[in-house]
Amino acid sequence: MTEIEEAAETEEQRLQRIAAMQPPFAELIGSKITHVSRDRVVAELVVREELGNRNGVLHGGALMALADNLGGTATALNLPRGASTTTIESKTNFFAAVPLGETIRAECTPLHRGRTTMVWQTRVTRADGKLAALVTQTQLVMHKG
């Protein structure tokens, strides 16, 4: 996208463009973003067999990967032009297993948006609305030069 095209872009179009630039990994796990704003990113994920553990429920690593991707996306939506981000810390609390075949909903909201770091919290809920996990992650904001 050229600088002229970026200048003509509305804020909503910019947010949608950034959210659409998901890494191939997000597609691999099946993450689907359903809402995007600077204050909230929401995604859904169908718990397929490939994402399960030996007990027939969602693997914790798959859940954490979904949350990590949302935190990175949320940070990207809030970065100044030319800056980039990387995860520097992530903590997950698991509360309830999610059976294969269910669709989980992950909602990522800010706890802190600073110049050098941003902290995001992702609530992952099951189809019945029960909290499955809570993920808190810190993203480093990397400024050019």
Boundaries of every domain in the chain: 3-142
Query: Which residues make beta-bridge pairs with 118?
Result: 113, 139
The pLDDT tens digits of the residues spanning 35-63 come to 999 999 999 999 999 999 999 999 999 99
Quickly list DSSP for the chain. --HHHHHHS-HHHHHHHHHH---HHHHHHT-EEEEEETTEEEEEEE--GGGB-TTSBB-HHHHHHHHHHHHHHHHHHHPPTT-EEEEEEEEEEE-S--BTT-EEEEEEEEEEE-SSEEEEEEEEE-TTS-EEEEEEEEEEEE---
Among left, alpha and beta (phi > 0; psi -120 to 50; other), residue 19 is alpha
Q: Per CATH, is 3-142 categorized as 3.30.200.20?
A: no
1 pLDDT above the threshold of 60: no
Q: How far, in Å, CA of 135 to CA of 44, rounded?
A: 15
Q: What is the pLDDT of residue 10?
A: 86
**Higher-scoring residue by pLDDT: 8, 85:** 85
Q: What is the pLDDT of residue 47?
A: 98
Q: What is the pLDDT of residue 15?
A: 79
The pLDDT tens digits of the residues spanning 87-117 come to 999 999 999 999 999 999 999 999 999 999 9
Percent of the chain topping pLDDT 70? 94
Mean pLDDT, the chain, integer: 93
* Longest CA–CA separation in the chain, Å: 53
2 pLDDT above the threshold of 70: no
Q: What is the pLDDT of residue 84?
A: 96
